[in-house]
A and B are shown apart, each in its own frame.
Chain A
Amino acid sequence: MISAIANPRLRRRKLVSAAFRVLCAATAFVVVGILFALIFDLMLDGLPWLDIQFLSSFPSRFPELAGIKSALFGSLWLIGLTALFAVPIGVLAAIYMEEYAPQNRLTRLIELNIANLAGVPSIVYGLLGLALFVRFFALERSILAGALTMSLLVLPVIIIAAWEAIRAVPTSLREAAYGLGATRWQVVQSHVLPMAMPGILTGIILSLSRAIGETAPLIVMGALTYVAFVPEGPMDEFTTLPIQIFNWTANPQEAFQDLAAAGILVLLGILLVTNSIALAIRYWSTK
Chain B
Amino acid sequence: MSTPLLEAKDLTIAYGDQVAINHLTLPIPEKKITAIIGPSGCGKSTLLRSMNRMNDFIEGVKLEGAINYQGENIYAPHVDPVEVRLRIGMVFQKANPFPKSIFNNVAWGPNISGLSGDIGLRVETALKQAALWDEVQDRLEEQALNLSGGQQQRLCIARTLAMEPEVVLMDEPCSALDPVSTSRIEDLLYEMKKKYTIVIVTHNMQQAARVSDYTAFIEDGELVEYGETEQVFTNPLKKRTEDYVTGRFG
Residues of A within 8 A of B (CB): 102-104, 170, 172-183, 186, 190-191, 195
Q: Is the CB of A181 within 8 A of B163?
A: yes
Q: Which of B12-20, B32-40, B84-92, B215-223 lies at the binding interface?
A: B84-92
Q: How far is the CB of B48 from chain A (nearest CB, A)?
A: 12
Residues of B with C-beta under 8 A to A190:
108, 112
21 contacts across the A-B interface (CB closer than 8 A)? A102-B59, A103-B59, A104-B59, A172-B94, A172-B96, A174-B57, A175-B57, A176-B92, A179-B52, A179-B85, A179-B92, A180-B108, A180-B112, A180-B159, A181-B82, A181-B83, A181-B86, A181-B109, A181-B112, A182-B109, A195-B99
CA distance A228 to B27 in the complex (A): 82
By beta carbon, the residue of chain A nearest B52 is A179
Of B96, B97, B99, B113, the contact of A181 (CB 8 Å cutoff)? B113
Q: Is the CB of B85 within 8 A of A180?
A: yes
Chain B contact residues: over half helix, strand or loop, or mixed? helix
18 additional contacts (CB under 8 A) given A104-B59, A176-B159, A179-B89: A102-B59, A170-B96, A172-B92, A172-B94, A172-B96, A176-B96, A176-B156, A178-B54, A179-B90, A179-B92, A180-B89, A180-B108, A180-B109, A180-B160, A181-B86, A182-B112, A186-B112, A191-B98
Of B83, B90, B98, B113, the contact of A173 (CB 8 Å cutoff)? B98
By beta carbon, the residue of chain B nearest A191 is B98
Residues of B within 8 A of A (CB): 52, 54, 57, 59, 82-83, 85-86, 89-90, 92, 94, 96-99, 108-109, 112-113, 156, 159-160, 163
Residues of B with C-beta under 8 A to A174:
57
Of B59, B82, B94, the contact of A182 (CB 8 Å cutoff)? B82
Q: How far is the CB of B228 from chain A (nearest CB, A)?
A: 29
Q: Is the CB of B57 within 8 A of A181?
A: no
CA distance A182 to B113 in the complex (A): 7
CA distance A173 to B97 in the complex (A): 7
By beta carbon, the residue of chain B nearest A189 is B112
CA distance A181 to B52 in the complex (A): 10
CA distance A188 to B92 in the complex (A): 20
CA distance A195 to B98 in the complex (A): 10
CA distance A172 to B171 in the complex (A): 13
Residues of B with C-beta under 8 A to A103:
59
CA distance A179 to B96 in the complex (A): 11
Q: Is the CB of A179 within 8 A of B112?
A: no
Of A170, A175, A179, A195, the contact of B160 (CB 8 Å cutoff)? A179
By beta carbon, the residue of chain A nearest B99 is A195
Residues of A with C-beta under 8 A to B99:
195
Q: How far is the CB of B29 from chain A (nearest CB, A)?
A: 22
Residues of B with C-beta under 8 A to A178:
54, 57, 85
Residues of A with C-beta under 8 A to B113:
180-181
